[in-house]
Amino acid sequence: MPDGQTRTPARWLWPLAIVVLFLIFFGVRHLTQQALPVRVATVQREDLTRTTSTNGKVEPQNNFEAHAPASGVVSRLYIHAGDHVRAGELLLALEDADAASRVAAALAGVSGAQASLAALKAGGSHAEQIDLRQNIVLALSDAATTEKDLETLRKLQAQGAASPDEVANAQQTFNAARLNLEGLEKRKSDPYGSDDLAHARAALADAKATYTAARAVVDQSNVRAPFAGTVYSLPVSQTEYVQQGQELLQLADLTKLQVRAYFDEPEIGSLQVGQAAQIVWDAKPGYTWKGHVVRLPSTIINYGTRNVGETLIAIDSPVSESPNGAPRDNGGLLLPNVNVTVTVTTQRVHDALAIPRDALHREAGVDYVFLVNRGRLVRRDVRTGAINLTQVQVQTGLAQGDVVALGTGNGDPLAEGEPIRVIQ
């Protein structure tokens, strides 16, 4: 056989051997490839709730604070801290001798202003009215005399016995007498002017205001309950000297409380009036109080190192459910000024198709998951809805009962088409 005919099959032998070796290599690799250890979760329906928590302080919805109207001594205490009192009940009395004297002086001032106004309207005091009547009688007599003198001089002038100057002087004297009489008669018929009356009335109003202020000090020296409630703060004791403006007591209806909660600025946008809230107090472990949002922040304030909005949470009942669902327990009574933790439910979706947040991935603005299908991972794009710290609502892309991958047990990344084995 010629040499060219024996070399042609050899030229194809080596490439064919290489292809066979590659096929054997990848076949063995495929058969020996280890499955990726993966944690999984089942897509299921559940109520998905989103909450936000912060700190707050309990305060009464209706609070009464009594302060000393003037410096003095606490002469009598009728109650103790923690006492429940009725509306109008006398709680505390201050020594009010100085206040009483000021009331008496103010009352005298009112009486004097009233008498001055009455006298002005009547034309003056009794003595002034007698003097006015006497002056009118004298003025009448003077006017009559000067008129008679004037007539006599006019006759004498006609006879040539009186000069024109004498008649002119007599005329002036008569005119002055008539003006004096008219002024006195006008004073009798119109005893006061509008300015005088306004001044007298203003003086009376000022005297009454002074009396009202003095009377208020006396009234405030005897503190009474404006409504039924509990005296929860009583910082003074009997015989103690107090300064003007010093707090004497605080009273509130402890069945109507609220929490002033301090939510950080980014969380305010999710708050709405009427949202349900839960309140817990570290001093009562296991107790929970229910409430709801009644007022949203109107501005942002500095609270320590935080920028927060003050939100009012009405407490629906000051008594909580006892631990372990036991009946209501008065031991769960909240107190004013205690610090609590408030959790507001900002979103609730009933019967949502949900997956754990660990199963959700995002790439180029697209949400997706790795679906477990016949022992391998399959990428599936999804559209999400509500989300909280642990769960995500899936609106499209998955069905109830689907199994999705959460992560691997060995730290390797999840990848499309990878064979897996499920681990706990």
Digit-coded pLDDT (tens) for 170-221: 888 888 888 887 776 776 666 565 566 777 778 878 878 877 776 776 777 8
Provide the whole-model pTM: 0.58
Cβ count within 10 A of residue 304: 7
Instruction: Give the residue among 245, 233, 230, 239 at the shortest CA–CA distance from 77.
Output: 239
Which of the two residues, 293 and 331, has the higher pLDDT score?
A: 293
Q: How far apart are CA 12 and CA 187, in angstroms?
A: 149
pLDDT band at 66 (very low <50, low <70, confident <90, very high): very high
pLDDT band at 147 (very low <50, low <70, confident <90, very high): confident
Whether pLDDT at 130 is above 80: no
Instruction: Give the residue among 113, 110, 111 at the shortest CA–CA distance from 121.
Output: 113
Q: How far apart are CA 70 and CA 242, in angstroms?
A: 8
Q: How far apart are CA 247 and CA 237, in angstroms?
A: 12
Q: What is the pLDDT of residue 263?
A: 96
Whether pLDDT at 24 is above 80: no
Q: What is the pLDDT of residue 31?
A: 45
Once rounded to an integer, what is the mean pLDDT over residues 145-164? Answer: 83
pLDDT digits (tens, 9 = 90+) for 231-256: 999 999 999 999 989 999 999 998 89
Instruction: Give the residue among 182, 178, 160, 159 at the shortest CA–CA distance from 170.
Output: 178
Cβ count within 10 A of residue 382: 22
Q: What is the pLDDT of residue 32?
A: 43
Mean pLDDT of the chain: 83
User: Rounded to the nearest 5°, which phi and psi values hold at 365?
Assistant: 80, 5
Number of alpha carbons in the 13 Å side-chain half-sphere of residue 407:
7
Instruction: Give the residue among 291, 296, 290 at the shortest CA–CA distance from 272.
Output: 296
Cβ count within 10 A of residue 222: 15
Instruction: Give the residue among 416, 424, 409, 410 at the shortest CA–CA distance from 372.
Output: 416
DSSP annotation of 273 reads T
Q: What is the pLDDT of residue 36?
A: 92
Structural tokens at position 123: 């034309």
Q: What is the pLDDT of residue 327?
A: 52
pLDDT band at 139 (very low <50, low <70, confident <90, very high): confident
pLDDT digits (tens, 9 = 90+) for 4-15: 444 555 566 667
Whether pLDDT at 293 is above 50: yes
Cβ count within 10 A of residue 94: 23
pLDDT band at 399 (very low <50, low <70, confident <90, very high): very high
Q: How far apart are CA 419 and CA 36, in angstroms?
A: 6
For residue 227, give the amino acid letter. Answer: F
Kindly compute the dihedral angle of the four CA atoms of residues 368, 373, 375, 377, in this order, to the nearest 10 degrees: -20
Structural tokens at position 206: 């000022």
Whether pLDDT at 330 is above 80: no
Which of the two residues, 131 and 247, has the higher pLDDT score?
A: 247
Contact present, 369 and 360 (Cβ < 8 Å)? yes
What is the C-alpha radius of gyration for the chain, rounded to an integer number of angstroms? 50
For the ranges 89-98, 366-375, 405-414, 415-424, which has the lowest average pLDDT? 89-98
Q: Give, in order, the Cα–Cα distances in Å from 397 to each of 349, 356, 370, 410.
A: 18, 15, 11, 28
| Placement of tokens 């590659």 in the chain | 22
Instruction: Give the residue among 60, 58, 59, 54 at the shortest CA–CA distance from 341.
Output: 54
Whether pLDDT at 415 is above 50: yes
Structural tokens at position 382: 């999804």
Once rounded to an integer, what is the mean pLDDT over residues 274-284? Answer: 93
Percent of the chain with pLDDT over 70: 80
pLDDT digits (tens, 9 = 90+) for 302-321: 998 999 999 999 998 766 66
Once rounded to an integer, what is the mean pLDDT over residues 383-391? Answer: 90
Whether pLDDT at 87 is above 80: yes
Q: What is the pLDDT of residue 354?
A: 95
Contact present, 385 and 393 (Cβ < 8 Å)? yes
Whether pLDDT at 28 is above 50: no
